[in-house]
């Protein structure tokens, strides 16, 4: 065999070897990618304790879909513990450790995550008006990296004050406690409440608190203006401080209406709103779809389909209030 043929055979052998190595490397990389355990960043404005019910539902949702912690999924938790100015730092930290998705709850928390990344998918376990907040283009076509569920808080404002008026028929003045420190969307909800109150002949006294040190002063103002009841608007701030807020309502003998049943278990008289733990369970389904290739931009934001009206008879007894039978009969749950 001449040298030319030997050289050609050697070249072909080398090329074949390189192709084989490249294919082997590709298969290895593909196998590693398929075996990669996804990491989910969980960003919450409250504490581990205040977020427990919602996150328990989320973890149950993941489990039902076959995800087992530390086996085929990893959860990275970050809590602001009520210090909402820490949210941007915590969101950036999750981006820095390269999580595959971020689970959030609440408009302010969603905003912090969205400002930290425009590429990592963000799933909302429950927040206010995501369209009005500029976090999604529309409910049907979010168009960016954010999807999940909205709580419809503003849309239910009228129903809450109606139920409160039925419960306390003589009420002519209702205080509304909000915190623009955590979300400007509270202002929209206040407007809806005022509109519904006007039709019922009820005057609204709004009080804006942004620090726990202002709580006592706010309740003193309610008493001074002879408020007959109080509505506590839902938000990361009020949720984190819910126990203190409902205790002050009871101390001042004010019937209280809240948006989430979690408040009622901590002493609020009643709540009407979406089943938030159910929304967090739904978040697991969103995450499963995204991990399987779906894009957040194409997954419609869901509105709650499951609502609950909860009454705390212990709280009623504490302030000397008798719940009318027709109101009590409509409750989905009664705490005795």
Report pLDDT for 11: 63
All residue ranges of the chain with pLDDT < 70 are 1-35, 180-186
Report pLDDT for 42: 98
pLDDT in tens, 154-182: 778 899 999 999 999 999 999 999 886 55
Q: What is the DSSP letter of 73?
A: B
Report pLDDT for 306: 87
Q: Are residues 181 and 324 in the same domain?
A: yes
Residue 107 CB partners (closer than 8 Å, separation 6+): 127, 128, 129, 130, 133, 135, 183, 185, 235
Q: Are residues 241 and 284 in the same domain?
A: no
pLDDT in tens, 289-325: 999 999 999 999 999 988 999 999 999 999 999 999 9
Is 21 part of any domain? no
197: number of Cβ within 10 Å: 24
Is 246 part of any domain? yes
Is 179 part of any domain? yes
Q: Are residues 119 and 200 in the same domain?
A: no
Helix extents (H) in the chain: 3-35, 52-64, 87-96, 107-116, 157-167, 185-199, 215-224, 236-240, 242-251, 261-265, 276-291, 313-318, 325-328
Report pLDDT for 6: 59
Report pLDDT for 32: 40
Report pLDDT for 234: 80
Both tokens of 274, joined, read 């979406």
Q: Are residues 66 and 173 in the same domain?
A: no
- Rounded Cα distance between 125 and 129, Å, is 13
Is 289 part of any domain? yes
Q: Are residues 165 and 125 in the same domain?
A: no
Q: Are residues 286 and 195 in the same domain?
A: no
Report pLDDT for 84: 87
Report pLDDT for 218: 96
Per the CB < 8 A criterion, the answer to whether 40 and 74 are in contact is yes
Report pLDDT for 50: 87
Report pLDDT for 31: 41
Between CA 307 and CA 314, with CA 310 as vertex, the angle to 5 degrees is 170
Report pLDDT for 207: 93
CATH number, domain containing residue 251: 3.40.50.2300
| Containing structural domain, residue 85 | 35-152+276-307
Of 53, 110, 56, 49, which Cα lies nearest the Cα of 241?
A: 49
- Three-state DSSP class for residue 7: helix
């Amino acid at each position: 065999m001449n040298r030319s043929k030997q050289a050609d055979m050697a070249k072909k052998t080398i090329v074949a070897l390189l192709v084989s190595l490249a294919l082997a490397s590709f298969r290895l990389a593909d196998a590693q990618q398929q075996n990669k355990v996804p990491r989910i960043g969980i960003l919450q404005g409250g504490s581990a304790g205040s977020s427990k019910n919602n996150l328990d539902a989320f973890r149950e949702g993941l489990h039902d879909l076959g995800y087992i912690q530390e086996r085929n999924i990893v959860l990275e938790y970050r809590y602001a513990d009520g210090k909402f100015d820490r949210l941007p730092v915590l969101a950036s930290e999750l981006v820095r450790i390269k999580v595959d998705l971020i689970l959030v709850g609440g408009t302010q928390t969603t905003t912090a995550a969205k400002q930290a990344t425009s590429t990592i998918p963000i799933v909302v376990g429950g927040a206010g008006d995501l369209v009005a907040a500029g976090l999604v283009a529309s409910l049907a076509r979010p168009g960016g990296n954010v999807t999940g569920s909205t709580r419809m808080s503003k849309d239910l404002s009228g129903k809450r004050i109606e139920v409160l008026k039925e419960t306390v028929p003589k009420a002519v003045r209702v205080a509304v406690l909000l915190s623009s420190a955590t979300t400007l969307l509270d202002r929209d909800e206040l407007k809806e409440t005022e509109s519904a109150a006007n039709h019922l002949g009820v005057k609204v006294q709004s009080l804006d608190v942004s620090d726990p040190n202002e709580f006592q002063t706010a309740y003193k103002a309610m008493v001074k203006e002879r408020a007959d009841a109080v509505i506590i608007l839902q938000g990361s701030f009020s949720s984190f401080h819910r126990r203190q807020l409902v205790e002050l309502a009871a101390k001042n003998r004010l019937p209280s209406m809240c948006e989430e049943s979690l408040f009622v278990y901590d002493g609020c008289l009643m709540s009407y709103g979406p089943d938030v733990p159910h929304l967090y369970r739904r978040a697991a389904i969103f995450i499963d779809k995204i991990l399987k290739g779906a894009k957040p931009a194409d997954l419609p934001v869901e509105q709650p389909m499951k609502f609950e009206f909860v009454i705390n008879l212990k709280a009623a007894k504490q302030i000397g209030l008798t719940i009318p039978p027709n109101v009590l009969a409509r409750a989905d749950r009664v705490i005795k």
